[in-house]
Every structure is written in C-alpha cells, then in structure tokens.
A and B are shown apart, each in its own frame.
Chain A
Amino acid sequence: MSASWSVVLPGSAAPDAPAPATPKQVPNRGGPANPSADALRARFQGGVARVEVIWGETTVYVDRTRLFDIVQWLHDDPSQRYDYLSDVTAVEYRDPEQPIEVVWHLRSLPYRRFLRVKVELPRDGKTPLEVPSVWSVYKGADWLERECYDMFGIRFVGHPDLRRILMWEQYHEGFPLRKDFPLRGRFSRAEQLQQALAANPEARYSMEELTVAQAFEDLPEAMRARLKSGERTGE
C-alpha cells in the first residue's frame, strides 16, 4: 500500500509550545490573549478596533472594510497560518441599539490557536448589512455564509452563489433568526399550511438546475414564460 500523501500534524509549527491541556479556572475577563491579536494590531493598526479576552477566548473586533485583508493575512502569513475556518455566524442582541455582529471562528492547526474575529454592523440606518465574503480564502465558507445570509439577511459580498440554504428560495417572510421575527413565524399555522398547499411544486426547481441539462426547453410553454420573466414563486 503506497502512501499518497504524508500525515499533517497539528501543532507542527510550534513544537516547543506546551502540550495542550483542558482550560481550568478561566477568568471571565482578561488573561493571556492570543498572540495573533498583537500581531494583527501591529500589522493593521486602524483596522483592529479592540481586542477582548472573554472566558479565555480572544476576540478581535475589526473594521468591516479591512476584514477580507485581515482574514487573508491570517490565513497566508507564515507566523499565523489560520488554515481552518470553524464557523461563520452572526449575533443580534435583544437591545435594538446594539450593533449586529458577524462572527468568524478561526483555527490555526499548525500553531494550535483559536481566534474569534468580529465585525460590528451598527444599526444607524446608514450601514448596510454587508460584509466581505471569505469564500476565496476558505471554501468551507460557502454554506456557512449562505446560512448566515438565510438566517440574518447579511449579504456576503463576493460569495459566488449567495442563495438561501435552509429555507426555500421562494421564502419571503424575512430572516428567521432576527429578533424582530416572531418565534412562530409571521403567519398563523392555518395560513402557513394554506400557503404550502397552494404553492406550485414546479416552482421549487431553481432556474439554475433547469438550464444545466437543457431540460428548460422541455418544460411546458406557460412555465417557460414564467421562468423567463424572472418570476419564480408560481403563486
């Protein structure tokens, strides 16, 4: 059996670092920050708004416009090598004055580091709910960003295919994880059922799928006209 590729060992870039251990007695605030935070500050000065250490986890608040450069630098720089994107999500607080936060959880496997990067989107009516997409750095961001868009309505600029993922594409009740979205949805159960029954199942096929296989030409005339005109709901 011949080996195709050699084994990648996490922690290989920092062989002298102490062996990882279960964190104990972690303080609420303060404690040693991730060294990448200082490196980011030195490299991007104004791009880093502030650094917080909460329960031992370092959070770096960065400027929205610099986010992509910062993430790319974290990924590429040999002293950082954040090669693993754990999660992309957003947080909306109950207080409507507080900004919506978009959160990236990054891991550096070679250095065994964990870093949380946040962008604050103030709700002043002027800032759009938009952040740069990191899809070109991490392919894993594809679905994570789609989900974040689907649930919060945050647009990831530069994402190749920013469609809804968990909700269906014709869903137009809003963004379920926003605080102004009621727990049970915008319509009553009876109304939701009626809408589901009245929906046209043909409309569940996206334009993209119908065109890939030239199946589009085989559709009934009425449906083709409807799809061509851009109407997708069939309702």
Chain B
Amino acid sequence: MSAKRTVDVAIGTSGLDEQGRPRRAPLTVNEGGAVTTLEPPPALEDALELEGEHMLINIGPQHPATHGVLRLVLELDGETVVRCIPHIGYLHCGFEKIGEYRQYNQVIPWTDREDYLNSIGNNVAFALGAERLFGIEITPRCTVLRVIAMELSRIISHLVWLGTTCIDIGAFTPFLWAFEQRERVYELLERWVGARLTTSATRVGGMAADIPAGWMDQLQHFIKTFPKTVDEIDRVLTTNGIWVGRTVGLGVMSPDEAVNYGLSGPMLRASGVAFDVRRDFPYLDYETYDFEVPVGTHGDVYDRYLVRMEELRQSTRILAQAAARLPEGPVDSDDHRVVLPPKSKAMSDMESMIHHFKQVMEGPRPPLGESYVAVESPKGEKGYYMVSDGTAKPVRWRIRPPSFLNLSAIGKMVEGHMLSDVIAINASIDIVMGEIDR
C-alpha cells in the first residue's frame, strides 16, 4: 500500500481547450503535457536520523487556516511534523446542556448554530429525530421539501469548503466562483424561510413555511446553471499542477483505519469505503432517488477534493429529481398533539382549542423512549440522540458531530508530513468548530 500516485496534469495555457471552452488555468508544469510524480513524504525514521532539536510550534487558536478556533501544537523536526496535539473547546457553549432546558421546537434554533454551514440540514436532522421520538409521520410534500433543503445545504457546505480550501492552498479565483454560487443558494433559502444562515426551517411534524410561489422556477434555474460552475472549477483545479502537487499523497488514511477512527462522510469515502447514510441507513425516502456515492481509492487530500466535487454534482441530480416529484398537499402533519392546529380552528373548534392550549402552555410531550437518528450531513454522519422521560423537554440531547471524529484523526494524518501540508490536511477535513465544540 503506497501513497504514491500519478495524476495527469494539463499544460496550462490561457487559451481554449479541445472543446473550445476557455481553460482558466494559466499554469505550466512541464513542457509537453507533463505528468507529475510525487515523492512520498520522508519516512519518520529517516527524519529522526538528523538528531536535531525538536521545535514546538503553536498554530491557532486564532489563525485563518485553522477554520475556527482550533489550536494545534506541533512538534517539528526541521519542517517535518513528528507529533500533533490538537486542542479544542474554545467555542464550547454547552448546546446539549441548554437543550435539556428547552422544549423540542425550541431546540431547533440551537441546531442552526452548531454546524452553521449546514444549518437547514441540521434543522431537518433534528426534526427527524424528534419525530421518531414522538412517533409521528410527516406528509409526502414535507418529505420532498426536506430532501431539497438537505441537498441545498450540502451544496452550500461543500462550496464553502472548496472556497476556503482553495485559499488555504493558494488559489483565489475558485473561491470567488464558489461563493457566488453559494450566494444564490442563500437567496433561495432567504425567499423560503426568511433567513440565510440561521434558518430554523423545520418544526417537529412539518416545516416553518411552505415554499413561496415562483420558488421552484428559481430552483430549476439554479439546478440548470449550477453544474457549469462546478465544471469550471473542475477544469481549473483537477489537473492544475500546483493543486495536484499540494494535495496528492497527503494525509492518507487506509479504509481500515478510516473506519476504525470513526471517520464519516467524504473523509471516509475518499478512503474507499462507500458508506453513505443516505444509501445504507436511508431516511426521507432517499432510497427512491437515483444518485451515485462517489468513492476515492487513495484516501488522500486530492481524493477528498474529488469526492466532494462529485457530491456537488450528485446533489444537483437529487435536487432535480426532488423538484420533479414535489407533490401538492399539506406540509405539516395533521397530528395536533404536536403540530399547532390552524388559528381559525383553534378559535372555533373545542378540541383544536384544547390542543392549542396544551401545546402553548406545556409543550408537546413525547412518550418515554429514545431515538438515534443519523443523517448524511456534508461532513459525515450527523446523529441526534434524544432521550425522553415523558416530559416536554428532552432528558438528553446528544449531537454526534462528524467533524469531531474526523478531526480526532488529524494527529495520525499529519504525522511525517511537512508543516505547510498540515494546512492542506486540516482544510481537507472540513471542520466547523461550532459543531466540534458545540
């Protein structure tokens, strides 16, 4: 099992490629359609032979390349990392504790704030967990709307990852393209739920709002035009000599290691394990959508990039299918133990009034029990584990944070690499400290 691999690199000209499309990669590698062969990083034993004094370098907690308040203490031998000690907790806010003092619907705004690049996806995940705990079914329209929400949020998260990673590695242009598209998704979300970042879009048993008139046309336009940007970024980066040179062979995790370390999402799939919660433990009828689960074969930073790029395309595919099948009908469940009855009925119908009163004064109460519902967030397996003792507030609300587990392997991944590669490896994990520290 060698980490060595070869990637064909395009000769950068500022002209047009074979299809006549502008190739925006003005970078040269070798004359004549060259191939780069990357040397594997020096083995640890060789590096230790130098017998130099080890140096301790502190990165963070306030550093642009750590993507949040992460602190890495690196023990260096020259420029080679011998050991990495991560420190987290600078953003610890006690979400899980606060959740124990809130009713289920009141927890949803907190889910926005943990993985804030995937806020609408977290809303959906929490609502799914709470609905399992309450034992209610959601309407077909709500199911499809939630799929649209989850895939839009995957696109946002991957675009931010792409943009910031490009900046870390030294490419600025794809960052602008990615953020331009992200802005379009935020416009869609803004029209739907009124907020861009902290959406709080779901309620237990339904959604905060149905989509407004004309929204689907805007979504269709996005679905049609978005893949062009992905292709553009693909053309600029995938065969770019600098990009390949700074990503190939770094932070390699074998499939066994990746599974054993509890990695999930693109991190796990880049290592060649085709585990996708949407496919293997489906929710929201994902088994009825036609999409591929991209996997890598080398488990390095470059493969993680390829996997995420492909996931952007697959998300667009799922969005198109969801948009085509969106049924008419109510969005909210008609189970008025949990979902508020319409105001007009609450003022005229005795039973509805009782439901309204009980929900507003006490909050909906799930039966005794517990549920662990996992979804495929852009970072990996995001699980919400909720335990109810029959009162209106959860006894325990546990977030299973995918980037927490992914980050815990960083010590293993950066060992033996150069200091500058630590930034690329750290970027490839796609961490959001809000989710890691909660």
Contact = CB atoms under 8 A, between A and B. Distances in A.
Nearest to A27: B135
B405 interface: yes
A83 B83 contact: no
B2 A89 contact: no
Interface centre among B7, B83, B280, by most chain A C-beta atoms within 10 angstroms, is B280
A166 B92 contact: yes
Contacts of B54: 212-214
A20 interface: yes
Contacts of A85: 262
A213 B297 contact: no
B45 to A, nearest CB: 18
**What DSSP secondary structure best describes chain A's contact surface?**
loop
Contacts of B261: 139-140
Contacts of B299: 4-5
A130 interface: no
Given A9-B274, A89-B398, A1 B5 contact: yes
B137 A25 contact: yes
B309 interface: no
Contacts of B297: 3-7
Contacts of B275: 8, 10, 84, 109
Interface residues on B, range: 35 or more
A187 interface: no
Contact of B287 (A22, A94, A164): A22
Contacts of B255: 5, 8
B278 to A, nearest CB: 10
B246 interface: no
A4 B137 contact: no
Interface residues of A, number: 65
Contacts of A6: 272, 297
A112 B88 contact: no
Contact of B395 (A83, A84, A94): A94
Contacts of A105: 372, 383, 385, 400
Interface in B49-71: 53-56
Contacts of A93: 389, 395
A108 to B, nearest CB: 10
Contacts of B370: 54-55, 57, 59, 91
A192 interface: no
Residue among B88, B295, B371, B398 with the highest chain A CB neighbour number at 10 A: B398
B225 interface: no
A2 B5 contact: yes
B272 A7 contact: yes
Contacts of B274: 7-10
Given A164-B89, A166-B437, A209-B85, 11 more contacts: A5-B255, A7-B297, A57-B372, A85-B262, A87-B385, A103-B385, A107-B281, A114-B281, A138-B260, A165-B89, A214-B53
7 cross-chain pairs, A with B, having the tightest CB-CB distances, nearest first:
A140-B262, A166-B89, A213-B56, A143-B408, A3-B297, A166-B92, A8-B273
19 contacts: A3-B298, A4-B297, A5-B255, A5-B299, A8-B272, A8-B274, A22-B284, A28-B367, A54-B371, A84-B275, A85-B262, A86-B374, A94-B389, A109-B273, A140-B262, A143-B408, A144-B262, A166-B92, A213-B54
